[in-house]
Amino acid sequence: MLPFTNMALQKKISLFVLAGLAVALGLFSFLSVKSLNESTQRILDQRLAVARILASDIDKTMLHALTHLHSSTSKMDGFPTFDGFVTLVSPIREILADTGVSIQNFVLIDSEGKVKLVYQKNPDLIGADWSQLPEVKRSLETGQLAITNQLTEPQTKTQMILALAPILDGKGKITGILAAIVDPARSSMITVGQLIQAGNTGYIEIVDGNGLVIARTEPGVPLKLLEQSDHPGRFSDLIKEGKAIVRTCHRCHEVNQEIQRRRDIIAFAPLSAVPWGVAIRQSEDEALAPTRQLEMRLLSLGIILLMGAVLLVWLMVQGVVKPLKALKAAAQKVAVGDFEAAIPLERGDEIGELSRSFYTMTQELAKSRNQLVSRNKELTALNSISVAVSQSLDLKHLSETALKNVLEVTQTTSGCIFLPDSEGNRLERLISLGSSGVFSCEKSQRTAGDCACYQVLRNRQTLMVNDVLQCPMLDEDTSGETVTAFASIPLKSKDRVLGIMNVACSSERDFNESDFELFNSIGFQVGLALENSLLYSESKQKEELRGQLLSSIISAQEEERKRISRELHDESGQTLIAAIMKVESIENLVPAKESALREKIQGVKSMIARTLEDIRRLTHDLRPMALDDLGLASAMRTYVKNRLEAIGIQVQFESKGLSASRRLSPAIETALFRIIQEATNNIVKHAEAHKVSIQLSIENETIRATIEDDGKGFEPDSVFSQGSSRQSLGLLGIKERVALLGGTFSIRSQRHQGTRMVVEIPAVYQPVPQEAKEDKREPKPVEPEEIIR
């Protein structure tokens, strides 16, 4: 004990410290090795968990897409037209895009596996036979929803991935498939994968059930056509077994034009509902870098502790631990939001510099937080105003809604909106809220006034008005509320000022710089909404004017046809009849032996008779007398019989609900006559039909006209797109007439399958004459329900 007793204190401390450190170092080494192993396993488990989460997310996304496709097939009643198909799938594409599924195209497949319709027109796909594609064939046989592996399109030889939703008829029979061509490279599955932090060497692959790589994130090698993964068979087996693994493997990599082997960590997780899998790859050196860095640090730390135990203990206790505790206490105050916490250290060394830097950081954090709160307030206000003004295009309602929201978000009490007149020289108050007397300024009604509002209108800048010289309203008592200051905001869209918004606050509330920034943003937001409202109103007025003009033109055209028809009937027709009678009287005077002369007279009489018949037909085409005298059904029956049966077309005509006691208005009768007349002419000129069915009926105060033929049919989309052909102009004329009467028009046709046109118009009846009201006898219908064949 004596040598130990006489040993210097520094040696004693060193001996005790080294002995304790040796024990601690041994225990530390054991725990470090254990911790390193656990850390390695956690990293591997983390990679596997990320792969499973990403696989689950892709599963949900693709199932969501299948659900929307399946719900869309239930709305289909047979195979739609192209327009119907576009109308059906356009909302699906937008919904799937919002959920992160990028769709290249939509395809409608019939029960034989052939492509019938393509959303984005691609002539190469129309008629393609997909019946030999395994997934398509299986879906047609089983009626199951499916996401395919990577397929080769038989006709174009392009690669594609399909989402398949079978189409069932009312009896549960599979009549076709609605297929969506998925673009995984632009879908959220890749976007989400890019967001996953996997280091500089890490990347994600999505593999299908055949081991082919569907998509790959950066910094992976750019994807090649039909590229197989480096373990296609193994991945395919794992997908079939539904088994997730994390392993290390050797892989060849090209470095400086030399092939080198590198160990990678691969975490693979299969999808449950889709025959795909997700593989996360990363270099083992990078993935386990934290563990190895920790290992080196622990080793270095052990050596440092062993070599300088005493020095480190004293320096840490005296020079590091205490100052750091003081900084820790200050950091804890900052963590709870106290950015004014005092930093008690006044030193000239690094710890003192750290203390000063820490103080500077707290001040910058306080400044950033204030800016963030202010910006968040501004964005919240603009969002609420944007939502409010986007719900209506009515100018009055939009202005009132916008002003209410502005007063709420700016915590002001009164406000109004002025709009310049058409010449831009006078301000007219559109809406005001708050105290009724606020902003009742007489100067705003003057031409080119000199008050604050006109100054803002000219300068296009928000103005703080707090001087009576700027606005006389500041010196007036407005219903018990004295306005001491207000902000005048220009409502701008692009470089144009559409109006002025004034908001006033009580004397306790002052506007600051942040308020003015918010006001400028509000001015642009509300100005854009006002411009949209004004443009909508202008467009609506022009559309109404166009409708009135077109209606006037049609009415004038019908009146002119009626006039010409009556003149031909009353004058030319009577003249020709008189001519026939004259010729007959001359013929009677010619002796029977003058056979040659009699034949010439017969020829003249026949020529006049044919001319009379042509005039009668022309008169009927221009304006059939039966339409005015007997009504729509009788006139229509006579016209179609003469027009169609004369050329050998079998006609089936039905009418229901039309009677003489309650006739439709002349405008509707004339429009329906012209519509059926145009349809009949189209049948004669283009359809090559043998049978025609025409039905007129009134149900639920709606008159319905249906014209159907068994002709060669046509493509309505192509005809309407031509725009200038006789047939397209006729159909466009029908649409215009129906639209003017507030009705609906639809036409359905396919090649060699005939044509069906349906027109529905709200029924408007002629006023019943007074003598008809007084006649108590049962009215005799002009046209009973019957079928003329």
Say which CATH number the domain at 615 has: 3.30.450.40
Of the three residues 623, 648, 670, the one that is the final residue of a domain is 623
Q: Give the integer Cα–Cα distance in Å for 339 and 320.
A: 24
Q: What angle do CA 142, 143, 146 make, to 5 degrees?
A: 100
Nearest alpha carbon to residue 245 among 262, 222, 268, 227: 268
pLDDT in tens, 637-667: 888 888 888 888 999 988 888 776 677 888 8
Sign, Cα dihedral of 105, 111, 115, 118: negative
One domain for residues 428 and 473: yes
One domain for residues 744 and 684: yes
Of the three residues 605, 623, 641, the one that is the final residue of a domain is 623
One domain for residues 776 and 644: yes
Contacts of 372 (CB under 8 A, 6+ apart): none
Of the three residues 578, 602, 623, the one that is the final residue of a domain is 623
One domain for residues 638 and 744: yes
- How deeply is 755 buried, as exposed, middle or buried, from its count of CB atoms within 10 A (0-12, 13-18, 19+)? buried
For 426, the 3-state DSSP assignment is coil
Cis peptide, bond prior to residue 472, ω within 30 of zero: no
One domain for residues 512 and 423: yes
Tokens of 619: 């008169």
pLDDT given for residue 709 in this prediction: 92
Q: Say if 187 falls within a structural domain.
A: no
Q: Say if 50 falls within a structural domain.
A: no
Number of domains in the chain: 2
Nearest alpha carbon to residue 461 among 432, 481, 491, 441: 491
pLDDT given for residue 13 in this prediction: 46
Q: Say if 63 falls within a structural domain.
A: no
Residue 259, Cα to own-chain centre: how many angstroms?
A: 50
Helix residue ranges, H only, 390-480: 395-410, 452-459
E strand or H helix at 269: strand 258-270
Radius of gyration, CA atoms only, the chain: 44
Three-state secondary structure readout of 462-492 = CEEECCCCCCHHHHCEECCEECCCEEEEEEE
One domain for residues 397 and 534: yes
- For the chain, give the percent of residues with pLDDT over 90: 2
Q: Which amino acid is at 345?
A: L
pLDDT given for residue 785 in this prediction: 34
Q: What is the CATH number of the domain that holds 781?
A: 3.30.565.10
- Reported as half-sphere exposure (CB side, CA atoms, 13 A), residue 374 has a value of 13
pLDDT in tens, 718-732: 776 665 555 566 788
Q: Which amino acid is at 474?
A: L
Tokens of 463: 């103005």
Average pLDDT score over the chain: 75
Residue range(s) defining the domain that contains residue 777: 631-788
One domain for residues 544 and 596: yes
How confident is residue 3, by pLDDT bands cut at 50, 70 and 90?
A: low
Q: Say if 442 falls within a structural domain.
A: yes
Nearest alpha carbon to residue 274 among 135, 99, 177: 135
Tokens of 457: 């209108």
pLDDT in tens, 186-204: 776 666 555 565 667 778 8
Q: Give the integer Cα–Cα distance in Å for 733 and 728.
A: 8
For the cut 50, the answer to whether the pLDDT of residue 417 exceeds it is yes
One domain for residues 467 and 576: yes
pLDDT given for residue 728 in this prediction: 63
For the cut 50, the answer to whether the pLDDT of residue 86 exceeds it is yes
Q: Give the integer Cα–Cα distance in Å for 664 and 701.
A: 11
Q: Say if 510 falls within a structural domain.
A: yes
Q: Say if 74 falls within a structural domain.
A: no
More confident site: 389 or 648 = 648
Q: Say if 282 falls within a structural domain.
A: no
One domain for residues 408 and 527: yes
One domain for residues 504 and 552: yes
Q: Strands, E, within 6-81: which ranges?
A: none
- For the chain, give the percent of residues with pLDDT over 70: 72
One domain for residues 513 and 433: yes
Q: Say if 401 falls within a structural domain.
A: yes
pLDDT in tens, 343-371: 656 667 777 777 778 778 887 887 787 77
pLDDT in tens, 37-74: 787 788 888 888 888 888 888 888 888 888 888 888 87
One domain for residues 614 and 643: no
